[in-house]
Each structure stands twice: as structure tokens, then as C-alpha cells.
């Protein structure tokens, strides 16, 4: 059937079987001199009678972004070749030739082969190279599959891989924090609420306060990796599922997925797994940003708690005295970028009708950008912390005795005074010291006795920061014993994960090995 006003150019004269040889020649000869790109969707001579516009090609081309998916696309393509043999679509020999051809393609790509100017996306690159390797047989691989289930599968595999790579780098930051923290167990500093001096804590406790958020980030990233591998899209075809009886269980097992997508429309059309990874990545950048902000602030002349090293700082082109904590600032700056990536993806997904839509091609730009940024930031942050000096003398000197006001109130509570009344009495003392322009511990004992009869001269002991810290040995507190336990917990968090026992193994382990 010829449409009433079809496109200009040659019309196919064939029947349902396709073009006649003459028709094909006519179409081929009408093609402009421009080199014909390798296309997965036919191009001129198939559905299309005219070359696509350069502006379309420039916009449509995603190979600059998605080329890095090639190891995963090769892997899933090899699994697909086997599945096609298993389904009786390919002979064993053809399936094996396809696998060997894909291995050859992978070797070339690993050796630095790259896209050619006409290649639309990574799937096109591999398809083209496969036909260069094994000729016409290459055209049989793309049976019963679509780039829609292909790209969703490759992206999920990439996510799982990225999560493993990020985990190593987050752990390295945690390890530096832990090493530095463990070496400072006797040092004391002010802790801040509202950025006002609040109470003394051990320096170890402050530093480990940045360790645990990263530990939760690692758990979130790992969960995002598991989510990515929880549902294999391959076999979903373009939207309705493959028409060939491929074993999706075989595919799932060979690709390391833990489950199959339950719905082909959903499998090709959603990118919630990317959003989960981006959220975990963004929250990680938020935590790195807070760590960076503490260090930048404490590295200022006014605080002077931290002195930056030289390998991870930069100088000024104008001011000779400067040593700038660029690494920490860039870590802080990455948060905006990652949040932008997460936001871009969520906005892209929000209005999409069901099934695959080309908007989804933008998912990888956001995903790769956030992960790439973290891959750069994490080692630099680890290095910057490793080389900085913690000026514990300055930290100790910054402790005003008013930080122990709560401890003085607690002292009165131990003597039977209600906390509310104790708070009021100590508040009066703090005001007296402030009015006199002296430290709280410089007030004469007579002042304490005048404010509350329960004070005895041993109140001065309550004004020492060491005593304040020693009183806080409950779990999670800054007391020395609690901090030692915290360090142990942090060390075991960084130990390599043990295999989770399953089924019978668990029963045996729970029974202490007895059978």
C-alpha cells in the first residue's frame, strides 16, 4: 500500500516479502554520496526513503555519552547469542561464532578502538564492529531484542559496577578519618551547636561524627546496586516482550541478576534504579560537603584548628600568602552538581507516557556525571585529610570554661537540686562572669556560694573539660571508654563483608556448627 502523498523518491514495488532486487538497487543508487552510516533501524532502503538530517543525527547521537557501556553491552549480547541458540533460533555453531565475534570486538574496544563518525550509539558501534568481524551472521544477533531492553539491561549492569567502585573510594575516606581520629583520642575541642561553642568533645568523637554518615551512604549505594540487579529487562523486547522462547532465567543467571522484570512495559520505560543510585550519590555528596565545610572553617586563621598540607591545596596568583583548600571546596561544590543530576532525571521521568521514550537517553548523562564527579572527589578528599595537621593545642585553647556550664548544673543535680533550678543558678553565674569580663572558672567561690547554697569548693572540678568528657561514657557519648568502643565498631564496619549464610548454612551457623 502506497500512502496517498508518500515521500518523494523511489517507491518499493515489491509485495509483503519486501523489496525486489531492482527496487533495492534503485534505492541504493538514490543515496547521496555521503558515506552510509551503519544503522540498526534500517535507514535509507528500509522504512526510510530519505537520509536523515544532520541536525537530527547530531541531536540523536548518544555515543559520546553511552560508549562506556560497551563492556556490558558485549556481555549481554553474548548471553543473548546463547539464549537464541537455546531457544532454537540459532544453530550452536552460529551462536558460538557470534560469541567469538563479540569477544573480538571487546578486544578491539579494550585496545582503544572507538566509535566512527556515523555511529549513533554504543549498540551501533558494537553491531558495526561485529559485522566487520564475522560478516553477515552479525545481523542475526539482533533477533527478538530491541535497544530498549538492551540499554536498560546494560545501564543496570553499569550501575552495579559503579556502586562497587564507589564503595572502595568511600571506604578509603572512612579509613583516613578513622586513622586520624584514632590517633587523637586524648585531644579535646569545643563542639558547636548553632556554630556557638556548646560542650567539649574529644577530637576523635568529632571526626568519627563524619565517619558514620559515610557508612550509611555505603549501605544506600549497595542497596541501589542490588536494586539495579533485581530485575533483568532483557527479553522485554521493545515493549511487549520477545516473540522467541528465550530463557530469561538462563539470561538472568548468566548476567548475575537476582530476578526478572515482571512487566515488559515497565522494564523498558522506568529508570527508578538510576534515581535510587543518584539519590544515594547525592546524599553522599551532602555528607562530603558537610565534612568539607567543617574542615574549611576550622582551617581558617580565626579557628586555626586545622592546617592544610601542600599536596592538596593551591596558591593564589596574586596573594603570595595564600594556601587554599580547593579540594574541600570542590567537594562542597559537587553537591549542587549531583543534586542537579538527580533533579534532571526525576523531572525527565515525571511526564513520560508508559514504555520507552527517547527522553530516557538523558538518564545516562545524569548518572555518569554524578558518579564521575564522585570518583574524582573521593580520593582527593581522602588525600587532603591524610595530609592535614590537627592543631590540638589551638583546639584545647579555644575551650572557654562556660562550655562546662551544663556540667556545673549537673553537679547541682547530683546534690539534689532540680535541673531547672540548677540551670537558672548557673545562668546567673555565667552572666556574672560575662559582665566582669572573666572566665566562669575565674569567679571567686563566694560568688558560687551566693548563687546557690548547694555549691561547695569542689565545684571547680566540674569546670574541667576532662571531667565533662569523662561523665559521658554511655553508648555513643564522647567519654574515652565509649569512644574506644566506637573506634572498634568503626574498624569492624570497614572489614570486608562476610558472605551472608543462606538456607541450611544459616541453620548450621546458628547452631554453632553442630549438625
Binding stretches for ligand ARG (CB under 6 A): 62, 66, 121, 147-148, 151, 356, 360-361
| Three-state secondary structure string covering 63-91 | HHHHHHHHHHHHHHHHHHHHHHHHCCCCC
Rounded to a whole number of angstroms, the minimum distance from the CB of residue 86 to ligand ARG is: 25
Contact 49, 19 (CB under 8 A): no
Q: Which is nearer to ligand ARG, 62 or 478 (CB)?
A: 62
3-state secondary structure of 483: helix
Mapping DSSP to helix (H, G, I), strand (E, B) and coil, where does residue 24 land? helix
User: Between 126 and 296, whose beta carbon lies closer to ligand ARG?
Assistant: 126
Alpha helices by DSSP H, 270-391: 272-298, 326-350, 362-387
Assigned C-alpha cell, 208: 568519627
Cβ proximity to ligand ARG, 63 vs 84, nearer residue: 63
- Assess contact for 290 and 283: CB atoms under 8 A: no
Task: Report, in Å, the least distance between residue 64 CB and ligand ARG.
Answer: 11
The yes-or-no answer on residue 194 being catalytic is: yes
**Least distance to ligand ARG from the beta carbon of 101, Å?**
21
To which H or E segment does residue 15 belong?
Answer: none
* Closer to ligand ARG by Cβ: residue 121 or 127: 121
Question: To the nearest whole angstrom, how small is the minimum distance from the Cβ of residue 65 to ligand ARG?
Answer: 8
**Whether the Cβ atoms of residue 149 and residue 235 lie closer than 8 Å to each other:** yes
Length of the chain (residues):
515
Sequence-separated contacts (24+) of 461-464 with Cβ below 8 Å: 462/404, 462/407, 462/408, 462/410, 462/411, 463/401, 463/404, 463/407, 463/408, 464/404
For every residue of 234-303, DSSP letters joined together read TT-TTTT--SS---HHHHHHHHT-SSB-S-HHHHHH--HHHHHHHHHHHHHHHHHHHHHHHHHHHTSTTT
- Taking the least distance from each CB to ligand ARG, the nearer of 352 and 487 is 352
Min separation Cβ 142 and ligand ARG, Å: 12
- Minimum distance of ligand ARG from residue 84's CB (angstroms): 20
CB-CB contact of 258 with 226 (8 Å): yes
Say if residues 441 and 407 touch (Cβ distance below 8 Å). no
Minimum Å gap between C-beta 99 and ligand ARG is: 23
242 included as an active-site residue: no
Of 316, 317, 354, 464, the active-site residue reads 316
| Rounded-to-integer distance, Cα 407 and Cα 443, Å | 16
Please say which residue, 78 or 147, places its beta carbon nearer to ligand ARG.
147
Task: Dig out the grid coordinates for 64 from the structure.
Answer: 559520546
Q: Which is nearer to ligand ARG, 237 or 325 (CB)?
A: 237
Q: Annotated catalytic sites, by residue?
A: 194, 316
Amino acid at each position: 500500500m502506497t500512502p496517498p502523498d508518500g515521500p518523494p523518491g523511489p517507491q518499493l514495488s515489491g509485495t509483503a516479502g519486501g523489496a525486489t532486487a531492482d527496487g533495492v538497487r534503485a534505492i541504493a543508487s538514490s543515496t547521496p554520496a555521503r558515506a552510509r552510516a551503519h544503522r540498526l533501524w534500517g535507514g535509507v532502503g528500509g522504512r526510510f526513503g530519505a537520509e536523515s538530517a544532520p541536525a537530527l543525527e547530531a541531536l540523536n547521537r548518544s555515543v559520546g555519552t553511552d560508549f562506556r557501556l560497551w563492556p556490558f553491552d558485549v556481555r549481554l549480547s553474548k548471553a543473548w547469542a546463547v539464549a537464541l541458540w537455546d531457544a532454537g533460533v540459532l544453530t550452536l555453531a552460529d551462536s558460538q561464532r557470534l560469541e567469538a565475534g563479540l569477544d573480538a570486538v571487546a578486544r578491539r574496544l579494550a585496545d582503544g578502538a572507538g566509535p566512527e563518525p556515523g555511529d549513533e550509539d554504543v549498540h551501533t558501534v558494537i553491531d558495526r564492529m561485529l559485522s566487520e568481524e564475522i560478516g553477515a551472521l552479525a545481523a542475526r544477533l539482533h533477533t527478538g531484542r530491541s535497544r530498549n531492553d538492551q540499554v536498560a539491561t546494560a545501564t543496570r549492569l553499569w550501575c552495579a559496577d559503579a556502586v562497587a567502585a564507589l564503595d572502595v573510594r568511600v571506604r578509603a575516606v572512612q579509613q583516613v578519618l578513622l586513622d586520624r581520629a584514632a590517633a587523637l583520642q586524648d585531644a579535646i575541642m569545643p563542639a558547636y551547636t548553632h556554630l556557638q561553642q556548646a560542650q567539649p568533645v574529644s577530637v576523635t568523637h568529632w571526626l568519627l561524627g563524619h565517619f558514620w554518615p559515610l557508612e550509611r551512604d555505603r549501605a544506600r549505594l549497595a542497596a541501589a546496586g542490588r536494586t539495579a540487579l533485581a530485575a533483568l529487562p532483557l527479553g522485554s523486547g521493545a515493549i511487549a516482550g520477545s516473540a522467541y522462547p528465550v530463557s530469561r532465567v538462563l539470561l538472568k543467571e548468566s548476567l548475575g541478576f537476582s530476578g526478572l522484570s515482571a512487566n515488559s512495559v515497565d522494564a523498558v520505560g522506568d529508570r527508578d534504579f538510576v534515581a535510587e543510585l543518584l539519590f544515594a550519590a547525592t546524599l553522599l555528596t551532602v555528607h562530603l560537603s558537610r565534612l568539607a565545610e567543617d574542615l574549611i572553617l576550622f582551617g581558617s586563621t580565626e579557628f586555626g584548628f586545622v592546617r592544610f598540607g601542600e599536596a592538596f591545596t593551591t596558591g593564589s596568583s596574586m596573594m603570595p600568602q595564600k594556601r587554599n583548600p580547593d579540594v574541600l571546596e570542590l567537594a562542597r561544590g559537587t553537591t549542587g552538581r549531583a543534586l542537579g543530576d538527580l533533579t534532571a532525571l526525576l523531572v525527565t521521568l515525571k511526564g513520560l507516557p508508559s514504555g520507552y521514550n527517547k527522553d530516557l537517553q538523558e538518564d545516562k548523562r545524569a548518572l555518569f556525571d554524578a558518579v564521575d564527579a564522585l570518583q574524582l572527589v573521593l580520593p582527593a578528599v581522602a588525600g587532603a585529610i591524610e595530609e592535614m595537621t590537627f592543631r590540638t593545642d589551638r583546639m584545647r585553647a579555644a575551650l572557654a570554661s562556660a562550655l562546662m556550664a551544663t556540667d556545673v548544673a549537673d553537679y547541682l543535680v547530683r546534690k539534689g537540686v532540680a535541673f531547672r533550678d540548677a540551670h537558672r543558678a548557673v545562668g546567673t553565674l555565667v552572666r556574672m562572669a560575662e559582665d566582669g569580663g572573666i572566665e566562669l572558672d575565674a569567679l571567686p567561690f563566694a560568688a558560687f556560694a551566693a548563687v546557690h547554697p548547694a555549691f561547695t569548693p569542689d565545684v571547680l572540678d566540674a569546670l574541667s573539660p576532662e571531667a565533662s568528657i569523662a561523665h559521658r561514657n554511655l553508648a555513643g557519648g564522647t567519654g574515652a571508654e565509649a569512644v574506644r568502643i566506637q573506634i572498634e565498631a568503626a574498624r569492624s564496619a570497614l572489614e570486608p563483608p562476610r558472605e551472608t549464610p543462606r538456607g541450611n548454612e544459616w541453620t548450621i551457623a546458628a547452631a554453632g556448627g553442630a549438625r
